[in-house]
């Protein structure tokens, strides 16, 4: 049984950087430097992601999935949900001006 989700989300979806910072790193006892080293990226890259100033890229999703044993889709879907919500908030007025088409 499928229940359609037609209600608008009021809170922003969690940024993947926050997930890493609040959920994954403490569970594994990782520091920013240790996480960057484990992923083969710079501390600056990791820091920007953790501070939510950088988005998850496909290669970062693959790295994170390999490290934590989950799927790259998990990370990309989290980023996608966050990006869509942010864009909808930023362009809300512009989007309201677009009139939906009806099929003939």
pLDDT tens digits for 43-93? 999 999 999 999 999 999 999 999 999 999 999 999 999 999 999 999 999
Which domain covers residue 41, as residue numbers? 16-96
What b/e sequence results for 49-70 when a residue is b if at least 16 CB atoms lie within 10 Å of its CB, and e otherwise? bbeeebbbeeebbebbbeeeee
Q: How far is it, in rounded angstroms, from Cα 38 to Cα 50?
A: 15
Looking at the structure of the chain, the number of domains it has is 1
Report pLDDT for 104. 75
Query: Residue 85 domain-assigned?
Result: yes
This prediction has a pTM of 0.85
Report pLDDT for 5. 62
Dihedral angle of Cα 50, 54, 37, 20, to the nearest 10 degrees: 30
Q: Return the structure tokens found at 63.
A: 């790295």
Query: Residue 10 domain-assigned?
Result: no
Report pLDDT for 6. 65
Query: Residue 22 domain-assigned?
Result: yes
Express each pLDDT in 36-50 by its tens digit: 999 999 999 999 999
Instruction: Give the CATH number of the domain where residue 29 resides.
Output: 1.10.260.40
């Amino acid at each position: 049984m499928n229940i359609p989700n037609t209600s608008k989300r009021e809170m922003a979806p969690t940024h993947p950087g926050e997930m890493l910072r609040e959920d994954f790193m403490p569970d594994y006892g990782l520091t920013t430097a240790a996480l960057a080293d484990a992923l083969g990226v710079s501390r600056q890259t990791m820091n920007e992601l953790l501070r939510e100033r950088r988005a998850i890229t496909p290669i970062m999703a693959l790295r994170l999935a390999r490290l934590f044993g989950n799927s790259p889709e998990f990370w990309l879907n989290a980023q996608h949900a966050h990006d869509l919500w942010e864009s909808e908030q930023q362009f809300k007025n512009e989007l309201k001006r677009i009139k939906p088409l009806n099929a003939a």
